[in-house]
Amino acid sequence: MPIANKYEGSENYQWRLDTEELLREHELFNQKEILLDYIFRAWEIVWDTKIGNAEINIPLIQTEPRAQIIGEFFETIFAILLAETGQWQRGSQKEKDILSTDRSKPNFDFEIKTSGQSGGKIFGNRSYAQPDQLGEMDSTSRKGKNGFYLCINFFQNSIYKIRIGWIDSKDWEPQKSPTGQMAGLKSYVYNYKLIELHHPLMLKASPRVLPGVGDKSPVLEFDSIEALCSDVRSKNITTKEITDFISTNNPSSNIKTSKSCKSAIRSQEFLTLYTMYLEQSVV
C-alpha cells in the first residue's frame, strides 16, 4: 500500500498499529536510541550556548529566551548534527524541515514541531488548517503537511515529551477564535498517530508539565518530577495504589499525601513516570 494511503480503509483503533509499521520503515525513526542521542546532543548544545564575545558572554538561560527561539535554535543544531551523517540535510522554506539526501526516498523527509507550553500539545500556524485560494489543503505551491513528524515538548530548559509519527493535513484544526493564529492537532492524533518515546530526561522536567498541576500548585516546591517521585516513594505509595486511585478517581483516597500532591499523581502520565523512576532506582 502506498505510504500516503496507510490510514485509509482502517478504523481509528488500528491506526496505532499502522503508525508503528510506518515508523519501522523510516531510516531514522526506526533507530530510536540513535534518534534520542541526536536530540539530547542538540538540546545540550542549545543550553551550553553563551551570547556575547570574549569580553562579555551571557549563558543563554539567563536571557530567558522565548520558547519559539529555543525551538528554532534546537531545530538548526539538530539539522547540523544529522547532516554530519551524510544521510540528512536541512530543507528550504517550502520543503520539509529535514530531508533525506537520498532523493529516491522523499517519504522519509520529516517535519519538526516544538512547543514550550506545559500542556503537552503541538501547534502549527493557522495555515496548517486552511485551504489555499483554490480550496486545496495539499497544494503543491505550499509546504506539504502530510508526512513524518518529530514532535518535542519542553518546559523552560527541560526537554519532556518526544513523539514521532505520521500526520496528515486533515489532522490539523484551526483555533476556535476567528482571530487565533494557531492550528492544533485533533485528539485522535495524540492517541493513534504519534508514538511517545520515554526517556530519562523526562524525570528532570518540572512537575508543572503534569496534568492537574497549575502555576500556583504547592507541588512546584519540587524542582523536578524526579524529586516528586522521591517524595511519593518515601511515603511508601505503590504503583498499585496510584493505579486504583486513577481508576476510581476518588479525591478522598487513603493515599497518605497532601491534596495538591494527590492532584499531581492522579494521572496515567505520572504513573508511567513513577514506574520509570522506580525501575531506575533499582538499577
Task: Give pLDDT tens digits for 106-131.
Answer: 889 999 999 998 888 999 876 666 66
pLDDT at 264 exceeding the cut of 60: yes
What pLDDT, on a 0 to 100 scale, did the predictor assign at position 261?
82
pTM above 0.75, yes or no: yes
- Write out the residue limits of the CATH 3.40.600 domain(s) in the chain: 3-197
Whether the pLDDT of residue 135 is over 70: the answer is no
**Does the domain formed by 3-197 have CATH 1.10.1740?**
no
Please, are residues 245 and 256 in contact by the beta-carbon 8 Å criterion?
no
> pLDDT by residue (tens digit) across 14-45?
899 999 999 999 999 999 999 999 999 999 99
> What DSSP character marks residue 5?
G
Q: Which of 92, 50, 52, 46 is nearest to 70 (CA)?
A: 46
Q: Report DSSP state, residue 138.
A: S
Q: Which amino acid is at 42?
A: A
Average pLDDT (260-276) is 89
Task: Please report which confidence band the pLDDT of residue 281 belongs to, taking 50, 70 and 90 as the band edges.
Answer: confident
Percentage of the chain beyond pLDDT 90 is 59
Instruction: Using alpha carbons, select from 213, 110, 195, 111 the residue that is nearest to residue 155.
Output: 213
